[in-house]
Amino acid sequence: MLSVVSGLLVAYTAWHLLDPSVVHRATDSGVGVFTAAVLVGGLVVAANWPTRRGTDVDAGWVFCRWFLGGMVVIGASGVVTIGVETARGLAVVEPLFTGALWMMGGGVVGLLVGYLDVRRLAARNRAEDAREDAKRLAERLSVLNRVLRHDVRTDLNVVLGYADELDG
């Protein structure tokens, strides 16, 4: 799902930038290309990072949730901004393209938050594993302690028995 949504946004941006019927300002083209490049780079990192790190977190769904959440929240704020600008009587050049840029920016922010969330979840899982390992080690040491105490007391009773015989 992450790939489909981001692919559609990148394809729309590329189509928009290559459309000869649209006159672009230099900043529109630069922002569009930069945002699309960051989005694609983020997707590549997001898809490969958890597997390289060996995390046991279901990172794909975490990234997808944050990516789509970022797109919705920041994309909605972009739509509201466009609506406010239009209501104020200002001409919004290419509102669909502007909205797509807001959504892509939200997707990038969502990927960054998703990356941090995956790291947090992986750290929590490692801490839980370490706690379980420590609990198992404590149980083993408790058994060893009981066995050693029993053996020492038995040997000490034998020595005390011999001492009583020698004394008596």
DSSP per residue over 41-81, as a string?
HHHHHHHHHHHHHT--S-HHHHHHHHHHHHHHHHHHHHHHH
Q: What is the pLDDT of residues 93-140, one digit of tens each?
A: 778 777 877 887 888 888 888 888 888 888 898 899 999 999 999 999
Alpha helices by DSSP H, the chain = 2-18, 26-53, 59-87, 95-167
**pLDDT of res. 132:** 96
Average pLDDT for the chain: 77
**pLDDT of res. 26:** 46
Cα atoms found within 13 Å of the Cα of residue 89, Cβ hemisphere only: 0
The stretches in the chain having pLDDT less than 70 are: 1-57
Q: What is the pTM of this model?
A: 0.59
**pLDDT of res. 52:** 63
